[in-house]
Amino acid sequence: MDQYQPPLADISFALEHVVGYPDIAKLPGFEHADLDTVVELLEQCGDFMAAAVAPTNRTGDTQGSRLQPDGTVLTPDGFKEVYHQYVEAGWGSVPLPEEYGGGGFPRTVGLVIQELITSANMAFSLCPLLTQGAIEALLHYGDDALKERYLPKMVTGEWTGTMNLTEPQAGSDVGALTTRAVRQGDGSYAITGQKIFITYGDHDMAEQIVHLVLARTPGAPEGTRGISCFIVPKFLVNDDGSLGARNAVETVSLEHKMGIHASPTCVLSYENATGYLIGEENNGMRIMFVMMNSARLGVGVQGLAVAERAYQQSLAYAQERRQGLAAGASGASSPIIDFPDVRRMLMTQRAHVAAMRYLMLLDASYVDISTHHPDPAVRSRADEIVGILTPICKSFGTDLGNELTSLALQIHGGMGFIEETGAAQHLRDIRIAAIYEGTNGIQAADLVGRKLGVRGGSSMLEFLGTMREIEPQLADAGTEFDPIRVELGRQFDALEEATRWMVRTGPGDPNAALSGSTPYLRMWGLCTGAWMLARAALAAPATGDAGLAESQLVLARFYAEQLLPQCASLLGAATAGSRDLFALDAGQLSGAARKVRS
């Protein structure tokens, strides 16, 4: 029942007709990545992920990774072999720079590959995702010697990477970390401290693990201003590039998690381990944000990818499971897909998954424009839009991952609560994504605290204006598009009202804006999702495929009429301020202040 089918037709339509990939392929440096080449490459990638990676998903969940008495970590059966096939096929290197052995394809293409591998096995996909974040940091801030020593084998995937940020006492407050880095006579640093929640901090799939570690040098300023970033390899690297002695980093334990059991989440201990400074001292936060911004869109894709696989399973189950008799039906029983509420849950999954895919790909396309467009002004504006879309993609995408996998389980009824069906695994696995790489509350705070303030709110209001350009297009498209146009107009009005309130209120009362930041981000997620579905519905007739055009219109209309209205209902919460959030003290919240009647 739980067989993964890569949605390549949906992805190809999205690339060609919804997010304008042909224009991305015309940017300098991407001439080799035309649409036909990309579609053929993705078909091969999808075949690999479905045939090789997807079958490891259930085994990985039931076995999990295991810490051995000698301190090494074994991944579940098949992981090591499949990872070697993944490296040999070169899938991880496709969107990475050619000068280090990558394929030089756009980030947009890399994002599709991330979706395919994550749908196949989220726990497995985390290793390449973290490696890519480490690569991005080195590309931006590493000196030539570090790049030449580490990047070629990280790009191929022969060596994997990690991000070591969190410590037991610090959590999301990175500035509270205490790991020390003391400069040595040879220019290296001795790293001492403990890091927690390190994804793939140790494993048996690759010969080398390159840890990127945040630490504090002696005399560094307090807080985030005094953080530096270091490469600390599992094995030291000799001058000829071969691996040398084991470095002084040990796996203390593996976390016992709710989901993604196959992904080893390690507690790592560093005791005078040899590290190498990336960039300059006290520049670690800037480097960390390169890693995290690269990963945040990838984490948003996790919500999409796991929701896609859960949807496929729930759709198959709804067609097979017979129970009761649907209205107007005859015979002994009906498949549950014939019942309206099951249809509602399936349509909710289908519409949200499509909207998420379009939105994630749109964000990635703006990443490519921001790095490769020849016009500096266009690059700058694209970078602003990436800043707006990334927290929306990460937060809204992972919130929906939780909600849609829960709907998929609900469709299974009691069988969904039974582990053997596999429906519960999707819900357990995706739950971490809303916490990864900055919790969703942090994403909402970033949206109103940083991105909304760009050019005094003009950046986001201009983007909203761009979205509203679709209203006359819908009016010209025919009466069947009227319900979408009317509802979009109402919800754009609500979003604009909330945005202007945030712009007015935030500078003088930041707590008020932050108190409404999560519902405000949700409003953006709903509106951008509906906008992308409307774009798809308008574009679909040009394909000449009448069935596709009908399905895109129905999805956009369903979303506009049944899901999008939630946006305006959040206006009150977004603009309520902080009064009631802070009106009760801890004792009142716990009920200690309530009197018991005799």
d(CA 90, CA 102): 8
- β-partners of residue 209 are 160
DSSP string, 354-376: HHHHHHHHHHHHHHHHHHH-S-H
Q: Which tokens sit at 502?
A: 């945030």
Please give the torsion angle defined by the CA atoms of residues 352, 356, 357 and 363, in that order, rounded to the nearest 10 degrees.
160
In terms of DSSP bridges, do strands 228-233 and 235-237 run parallel, antiparallel, or are they unpaired?
unpaired
- What letter does residue 32 receive in the DSSP assignment? T
Which residue intervals of 373-481 are DSSP H helices?
Answer: 376-411, 423-430, 440-446, 458-468, 470-477
Which residue among 136, 384, 437, 487 is the active-site one? 437
DSSP string, 130-178: HHHHHHHHHHHH--HHHHHHHHHHHHHTSEEEEEE---TTTTT-GGG--
Where on the phi/psi map is residue 398: left (φ > 0), alpha (ψ -120 to 50), or beta? alpha
3-state secondary structure of 450: helix
**Torsion angle in degrees (nearest 10) through CA of 64, 65, 70, 71:** -130
Are 367 and 107 spatial neighbours (Cβ–Cβ below 8 Å)? yes
| 136 is annotated as an active-site residue | no
Spatial separation of the C-alpha atoms in residues 26 and 123, rounded to whole Å? 35
- How close are the terminal C-alpha atoms of the chain, in Å? 58
Q: Which amino acid is it at 140?
A: H
Helix (H) or strand (E) holding 507: none
Catalytic residue list? 437
